Amino acid sequence: MTQLMNKQGQKPHAANATFYRVAITLPECVTTVEAGHIEIVFSELMESLATSHLRLANQRWLIEALFDFEPDRSVLMAMLDQPLGILGFDDIELEIGLLEQRDWLAENRASFPPLLIGRIWIHGSHVKRPAPAGSLPLMVEAAQAFGSGTHPTTEGCLRAIQMIAALSRSAPAKVLDMGCGSAILAMAAQKIWPLSQVTAVDNDTIAVQVASANARLNGIALQQLRCFVSAGFAGRAVRQRGPYDMILANILAGPLRRMTPELVRHLATNGWLILSGILNEQAVAVERGFNAQGLRCWAMLRSGDWKTIVMRPAAIRAMQVLWHGRRSAATGTQEE
């Protein structure tokens, strides 16, 4: 997903930076899933640095977002109008206020401990202890808002990659991280399959700059991981480097459904497609869209309110050879 930075392209969370808090309070009748939907407006559509939703002692919901620029109230209300309208709320007050000056970088780092997902060990530069034995370390700074591995959609993709690596006989020659953000998925794929040609793509210039910097920070050479600015497959280089043996698309369900034909078109005939950024109730619709394009679901991983779907072309037959006759831990069924 797109790396979130401020509008001037400066890195957020500096000790003397100015931050704004946006908050709304919802009635106690709102469910956890519904509160999460409202939070997504801030986290995915409004370039917030951080978001949270919390049920208060009086059972009302407090939803907060942190910005490194003063957000436009009219824009925020326009974005919130539809999800609040669906819930039947048209009189919710929006709070926008300036936060006190604090060393947010130090505080953010303190709340960003290292994270071990399978063999992938994600840590910031503030972590001094050595990586766990047998792990594949990736350094991603706490100041980078999305793509630090803490979101369930990122974790789902990382687990899916490692599940495939554990069971598959051959490494994917070409890997695409579509909507790469910080490029954590692209870097993880490169660490797992060092000989693979990995491509990271985002439609945000700053995100691609951050992705390239992260690759260098983790000792990944340019020829091993190339980063491009492109709106989907519009960039010629993105199209020419395919077809891809593995495509990672950790974006929202709506864009995934719109991109379905292109994602399938650029997937190799024996490829893997890992889809995430999908709420549980959206998974069936997303899966059916790809079924209609000739793909079938191989596994579906759930993490809280989110699902990660692993798909393959339906024409693949020799699954028992590919999987060494092993059973899928994710599906609990023997593949044909």
Q: Which pLDDT score, from 0 to 100, does residue 301 have?
A: 94
Residue-level pLDDT at 118? 92
pLDDT along the chain (336 residues), means of 10: 32 59 90 82 74 83 87 87 85 84 57 83 83 90 53 91 92 96 94 96 88 93 93 95 96 92 96 95 95 95 92 73 37 36
Q: Look at the domain 20-106 and name its fold.
A: Alpha-Beta Plaits (3.30.70)
Per-residue pLDDT, 102: 60
Considering the chain, tell me which residue range(s) the CATH 3.40.50.150 domain(s) occupy: 147-322
Q: Residue 249 carries which side chain, given as an amino acid letter?
A: A
Q: What is the 3-state secondary structure (H, E, C) of the chain?
A: CCCCCCCCCCCCCCCCCCCEEEEEEECCCCCHHHHHHHHHHHHHHCCCCEEEEEECCCCCEEEEEEECCCCCHHHHHHHHHHHHHHCCCCCCCEEEEECCCCCHHHHHHHCCCCEEECCEEEECCCCCCCCCCCCEEEECCCCCCCCCCCCHHHHHHHHHHHHHHHHCCCCCCEEEEECCCCCHHHHHHHHHCCCCEEEEEECCHHHHHHHHHHHHHCCCCCCCEEEEECCCCCCHHHHHCCCEEEEEEECCHHHHHHHHHHHHHCEEEEEEEEEEEEEHHHHHHHHHHHHCCCEEEEEEEEECCEEEEEEEECCCCCHHHHCCCCCCCCCCCCCC
* Predicted TM-score of the model (pTM): 0.67
Q: Residue 108 class from Cβ within 10 Å (0-12 exposed, 13-18 middle, 19+ buried)?
A: buried
pLDDT given at position 59: 85
Provide the residue type at 72 as one letter.
D
Name the class of domain 147-322: alpha beta
Which residues of the chain form CATH 3.30.70.260? 20-106
